[in-house]
Structure 1
């Protein structure tokens, strides 16, 4: 399998792990981050700014999920740039950067950041889950390169 395909597949695995963690945790913990709400607001505003009618209801949820998985997969695929050495460290760094960006960028972009800033614990979970997604992507890319 080509290196780019391995990176992309690994990124997709990391994004899937991240979304699974978010989905399960939201059902178990009222302070869990609700990144999906942030994404729905961002998508609605972006589509409206383009002069189009944003989706609503289940169409908005599906569009946001698709955009979230695609964007996180693309970000996590960057972990595979470079050799196998330090792959897990790159996973941690990329995950931490995306998690910290999720905490800081929305408010500056005019979005309601409450879904990821309900409490200090919510903020820690946000970053930790992106790190876990990064580690999953790194482990997947590294495993595929062994073959």
Structure 2
């Protein structure tokens, strides 16, 4: 298996863990980040800009947001790559994505509350994205031929 495929496998694993944690925690923790809400707002906003009507069914919009999150985060986390250097790349990618998820939604017109509601929400947001980056790195490292 070549390194691009291995990197993509790591990226997919990181994105799936990130989405699983977000979706699980939002059901049990009142201050949990609501990245699904930001995703639905993003899709609706982009569709309106393209003169298309966003789905009226909230479940359909939610499914689209989750699929978009997994796809985009997979591509992003695949940048962690493989080998021993995947660890620092995954950590930097995860922390950067988390900081962006806290700082950018407001200026992008998506609202601040889903990822910036409380200090706890902010910390969980950064932590979840960092976890995703580290999972991508762990898989990239584990399936790499260059572990030294």
Which bracket does the TM-score occupy, shorter chain normalised?
over 0.9
Structure 1-normalised TM-score?
0.94
- How far off its partner does 1:86 sit? 2.6
2:14 aligns with 14
Q: Is the 8 A contact 2:84 2:141 kept in 1?
A: no
1:67 counterpart = 2:68 = yes
Counterpart CA distance in 2 for 1:54 and 1:24 is: 25
2:46 aligns with 46
Moved more, 124-133 or 107-116: 107-116
1:138 counterpart = 2:137 = yes
- How far off its partner does 1:118 sit? 1.2
Equivalenced residues, count? 145
Q: Is the 8 A contact 1:38 1:113 kept in 2?
A: no
Q: After the TM superposition, which parts of structure 1 deviate over 2 Å for at least 4 consecutive aligned residues? A: none
- How far off its partner does 1:100 sit? 0.5
Q: Is the 8 A contact 2:32 2:124 kept in 1?
A: yes
Counterpart CA distance in 2 for 1:39 and 1:30 is: 19
- How far off its partner does 1:111 sit? 1.1
* 3-state SS of 2:106 partner: helix
1:87 aligns with 86
* 3-state SS of 2:20 partner: helix
Gaps (5+ residues) in structure 2?
Answer: none
Give a deviation string over 1:55-84, Cα, whole Å, max 9, x none. Answer: 23221011111100001001000010xx62
Which of the two has greater helix per residue?
1
Give a deviation string over 1:109-133, Cα, whole Å, max 9, x none. Answer: 1111201111001000000000000
- How far off its partner does 1:88 sit? 1.2
RMSD of the TM alignment (CA)?
Answer: 1.3
Give a deviation string over 1:24-79, Cα, whole Å, max 9, x none. Answer: 11122100001000110011000111000112322101111110000100100001
Q: Is the 8 A contact 1:35 1:115 kept in 2?
A: yes
- How far off its partner does 1:85 sit? 2.9
Structure 2-normalised TM-score?
0.94
Counterpart CA distance in 1 for 2:143 and 2:30 is: 37
Counterpart CA distance in 2 for 1:31 and 1:85 is: 35
